């Protein structure tokens, strides 16, 4: 049976068209009825995935094509979700490497490709968006080959098959100039080049857990691949944890895939990707095996977190006004629940019972968790992200990121100068159509707060992406934010008259009528020092009217920070207050006199 199975993962940089290609494959394989209403990017099922246009969680689907069952895993393209990628690569026998015909290989392409090459997988390269203006498919193939060489691919991996495609238009071709208008060349390439799973259906049962979820009806469910043997609903199997401890359990539900749908199945065998229920304590990378001869499968190592921040119980004067879940117990329970499925996350308790140290793979990884929590009704305060250092042989090491920037030539000098101050080292510079591609190695610390500054400096025309490379010796101090902040003096509502007088002092973060409290940050000061200001003072009313001075007040629109921008912006002595309705910036110590005392102690 496994001879008619192909297990493949789709990997690509953010926005290169993975999920759109999966949509097209589903349509052409007859999964949907001809009159069925289908949303775009159907695999992005999470609300945040749809809003941001990125894949966060890896997902499985099954496509039947001319008697061959193709199990496809759609993986995240962002390096912050690399923990998802590393696990799913253990389930598949090849990868579909999707590369934009204009952009070429990008940092996250590099990150995931390195993982798959290290596992010995032989990729199929799909050059997507060949109908895009400015597409240069032949050039991009050369760039992909260079990348394979750079990542130490073996000779077999360097002989990769190539398919040219337009996922949006739903066609694939063996040559860019063909007139083929369907995906048959892609399906044929998968069947011919992806090896059938190696497992033996008659050997003792072995199953590796690669993802975990929870179902309200059947409890905890584990998804993974059957490496050997076969299984039926109701069978008793052994669960082997990472320490080698063995516990027995019964499979209460066996679930397979039909298109996008999960369907109950009676049995499955080697090569199948299935979901199993019946084990309440099961975790990622654990094995299920036959009771008579329980042999574990190799444990999947996940890269360690590189960034941490403190999640703190909200202590502002507005605490509890907007959120349902506000206590330390609520926050801790939610973080423990996240740990069940989010393998790249670490949660530690601290000396303070109201503070938890949460570590992840990057700002996006942690901000997605915070955004999900606020949508669920949680209220909390979050500290500035900090990189995680390591000590080896008495030397302090820090995480280094590979940074790729595409920027118009006129802004190139400014970007290089700013990154130089952040200890970045320029690795290469290439000219492209109208833009220059700059590649740097930069300490992860240097990227905190850089994105907002970068978008301002390039007037929104630059693009940047980065991925973790290695731990390297500490690069020295990096200057933090240059400007101070404007801090509210009293509680109340902001008044247009006061804000009008304050806008010469810097950039405002609040609009008129915003509720503020003492110690809340309402703007950025034009100078380096912090300034305590009164934003609630109205104009004194008299009977005298002067021509000109009573004209309508014209306010510059405030700079409303998003969650990511707020996390990047804050300094060490500041917090971001996150509630279901608001994102506020505040000082850790709200009282101005207490702040002065604490500064003197330093």
Residue corresponding to tokens 């100068």: 417
Per DSSP, the chain holds a count of helices (H) and strands (E) of: 15, 35
**Residue 569 pLDDT > 80:** yes
Considering 210-214, 218-222, 477-481, 484-488, the range whose residues carry the highest mean pLDDT is: 484-488
To the nearest whole percent, how much of the chain has pLDDT over 70?
87
Residue 129 annotated as part of some ligand binding site: yes
**Residue 40 pLDDT > 50:** no
Distances (CA, A) of 602 to 519, 575, 596, 599: 20, 19, 10, 5
Top pLDDT among 212 and 119 is at 119
Calculate the average pLDDT of the chain.
83
**Residue 583 pLDDT > 90:** yes
Cα angle: 225, vertex 229, 235; to 5 degrees: 90
Residue 218 annotated as part of some ligand binding site: no
- Can you give the pTM of this predicted structure? 0.73
pLDDT of residue 86: 63
Are the C-beta atoms of residues 374 and 384 closer than 8 Å to each other?
no
Are the C-beta atoms of residues 296 and 287 closer than 8 Å to each other?
yes
pLDDT, tens digit, for every residue of 330-344? 999 999 888 877 777
pLDDT, tens digit, for every residue of 91-122? 888 999 989 898 888 766 776 788 788 888 99
**Residue 53 pLDDT > 50:** no
Residue 573 annotated as part of some ligand binding site: no
Distances (CA, A) of 109 to 115, 306, 425, 465: 10, 19, 21, 11
Q: 362 pLDDT band (50/70/90 cuts)?
A: confident
**Residue 547 pLDDT > 80:** no
**Residue 517 pLDDT > 90:** yes
Distances (CA, A) of 365 to 227, 359, 385, 566: 31, 9, 12, 15
Q: Is 411 strand, coil or helix?
A: helix
Are the C-beta atoms of residues 469 and 401 closer than 8 Å to each other?
yes
Q: 326 pLDDT band (50/70/90 cuts)?
A: very high
Residue 127 CA to residue 98 CA, distance in Å, equals 6
Residue 188 CA to residue 210 CA, distance in Å, equals 28
Q: Are strands 162-166 and 124-128 parallel, antiparallel or unpaired?
A: parallel
Residue 17 annotated as part of some ligand binding site: yes
User: Residues 261-285: what's their mean pLDDT?
Assistant: 83
Are the C-beta atoms of residues 183 and 171 closer than 8 Å to each other?
yes
Q: Is 3 strand, coil or helix?
A: helix
pLDDT of residue 536: 87
Residue 6 CA to residue 163 CA, distance in Å, equals 18
Considering 19-23, 459-463, 565-569, the range whose residues carry the highest mean pLDDT is: 565-569
Residue 515 annotated as part of some ligand binding site: no
Residue 492 annotated as part of some ligand binding site: no
**Residue 553 pLDDT > 90:** no
pLDDT of residue 347: 92
Q: Which domains does the chain have, with CATH numbers?
A: 2-193 (3.40.50.300), 206-290 (2.40.30.10), 390-473 (3.30.70.240)
Rounded to whole angstroms, the maximal C-alpha distance in the chain is: 97
Residue 368 CA to residue 562 CA, distance in Å, equals 12
pLDDT, tens digit, for every residue of 381-419? 999 998 889 888 889 999 898 888 888 888 889 999 999
Residue 128 annotated as part of some ligand binding site: yes
Are the C-beta atoms of residues 522 and 535 closer than 8 Å to each other?
yes
Counted residue by residue, the chain has a size of 602
Q: 315 pLDDT band (50/70/90 cuts)?
A: very high
Non-local CB neighbours of 261 within 8 Å, separated by 6+ positions: none
Top pLDDT among 219 and 171 is at 171
User: Residues 500-522: what's their mean pLDDT?
Assistant: 91
Residue 18 annotated as part of some ligand binding site: yes
Token readout for 436 is 């220059």
Residue 31 CA to residue 125 CA, distance in Å, equals 25
Q: 58 pLDDT band (50/70/90 cuts)?
A: very low
Residue 550 CA to residue 567 CA, distance in Å, equals 39
DSSP 489-506: -SSEE--HHHHHHHGGGE
Output phi, psi for 291, to 5 deg: -65, -35
Residue 19 annotated as part of some ligand binding site: yes
pLDDT of residue 303: 65
To the nearest whole percent, how much of the chain has pLDDT over 90?
27
Token readout for 38 is 């289908």
Residue 166 CA to residue 161 CA, distance in Å, equals 17
Residue 519 CA to residue 228 CA, distance in Å, equals 61
- How would you write 64-100 as a 3-class SS string? EECCEEEEEEECCCCHHHHHHHHHHCCCCCEEEEEEE
Considering 5-14, 327-336, 543-552, the range whose residues carry the highest mean pLDDT is: 327-336
Q: 52 pLDDT band (50/70/90 cuts)?
A: very low
Which of left, alpha, beta for 24 (phi over 0: left; psi -120 to 50: alpha)? alpha
Top pLDDT among 347 and 601 is at 347
User: Residues 226-238: what's their mean pLDDT?
Assistant: 89
**Residue 546 pLDDT > 60:** no
pLDDT of residue 54: 40
User: Residues 140-144: what's their mean pLDDT?
Assistant: 92
């Amino acid at each position: 049976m496994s001879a008619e199975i192909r297990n493949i993962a789709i990997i690509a940089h953010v926005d290169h068209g993975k999920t759109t290609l999966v949509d097209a494959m589903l349509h052409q394989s007859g999964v949907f009825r001809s009159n069925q209403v289908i949303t775009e990017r159907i695999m992005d099922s999470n609300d945040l995935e749809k809003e941001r246009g990125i894949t966060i969680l890896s997902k499985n689907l099954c496509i039947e094509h001319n008697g061959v069952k193709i199990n496809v895993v759609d993986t995240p393209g962002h390096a912050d979700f690399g923990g998802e990628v590393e696990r799913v690569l253990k389930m598949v026998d090849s990868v579909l490497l999707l590369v934009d015909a204009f952009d070429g290989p990008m940092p996250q392409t590099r990150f995931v490709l390195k993982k798959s090459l290290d596992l010995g997988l032989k990729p199929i390269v799909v050059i997507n968006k060949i109908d895009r203006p400015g597409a240069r498919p032949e050039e991009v193939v050369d760039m992909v080959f260079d990348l394979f060489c750079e990542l130490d691919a073996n000779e077999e991996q360097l002989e990769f098959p190539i398919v040219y495609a337009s996922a949006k238009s739903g066609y694939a071709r063996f040559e860019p100039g063909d007139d083929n208008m369907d995906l048959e060349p892609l399906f044929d390439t998968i069947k011919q080049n992806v090896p059938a799973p190696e497992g033996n259906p008659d050997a003792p049962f072995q199953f590796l857990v690669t993802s975990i979820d929870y179902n309200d009806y059947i409890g905890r469910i584990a998804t993974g691949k059957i490496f050997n043997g076969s299984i039926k609903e109701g069978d008793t199997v052994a669960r082997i944890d990472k320490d080698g401890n063995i516990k027995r359990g019964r499979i209460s539900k066996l679930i397979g895939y039909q298109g996008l749908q999960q369907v109950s199945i009676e049995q499955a065998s080697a090569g199948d990707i299935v979901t199993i229920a019946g084990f309440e304590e099961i975790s990622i990378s654990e094995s299920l095996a036959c009771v008579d001869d329980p042999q574990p499968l190799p444990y999947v190592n996940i890269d360690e977190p590189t960034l941490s921040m403190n999640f703190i119980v909200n202590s502002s004067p507005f605490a509890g006004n907007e959120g349902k879940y506000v206590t330390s117990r609520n926050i801790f329970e939610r973080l423990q629940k996240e740990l069940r499925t989010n393998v790249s996350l670490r949660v530690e308790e601290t000396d303070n019972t109201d503070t938890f140290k949460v570590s992840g793979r990057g700002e996006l990884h942690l901000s997605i968790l915070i955004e999900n929590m606020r949508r669920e009704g949680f209220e909390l305060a979050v500290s500035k992200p900090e990189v995680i250092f390591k000590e080896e042989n008495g030397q302090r090491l820090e995480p280094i990121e590979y940074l790729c920037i595409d920027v118009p030539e006129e802004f190139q000098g400014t970007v290089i100068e700013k990154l130089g101050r952040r200890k970045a080292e320029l690795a290469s510079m290439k000219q492209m159509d109208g833009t220059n591609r700059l590649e740097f190695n930069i300490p992860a610390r240097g990227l905190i707060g850089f994105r907002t500054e970068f978008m301002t400096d390039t007037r929104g025309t630059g693009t940047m992406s980065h991925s973790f490379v290695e731990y390297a010796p500490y690069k020295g101090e990096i200057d933090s934010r240059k400007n101070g902040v404007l801090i509210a003096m009293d509680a109340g509502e902001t008044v247009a008259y006061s804000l009008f007088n304050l806008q010469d002092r810097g950039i405002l973060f609040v609009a008129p009528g915003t509720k503020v409290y003492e110690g809340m940050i309402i703007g950025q000061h034009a100078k380096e020092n912090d300034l305590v200001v009164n934003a609630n003072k109205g104009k004194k009313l008299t009977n005298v009217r002067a021509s000109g001075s009573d004209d309508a007040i014209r306010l510059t629109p405030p700079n409303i920070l998003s969650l990511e921008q707020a996390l990047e912006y804050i300094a060490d002595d500041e917090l971001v207050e996150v509630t279901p309705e608001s994102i506020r910036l505040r000082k850790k110590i709200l009282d101005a006199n207490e702040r002065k005392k604490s500064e003197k102690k330093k």
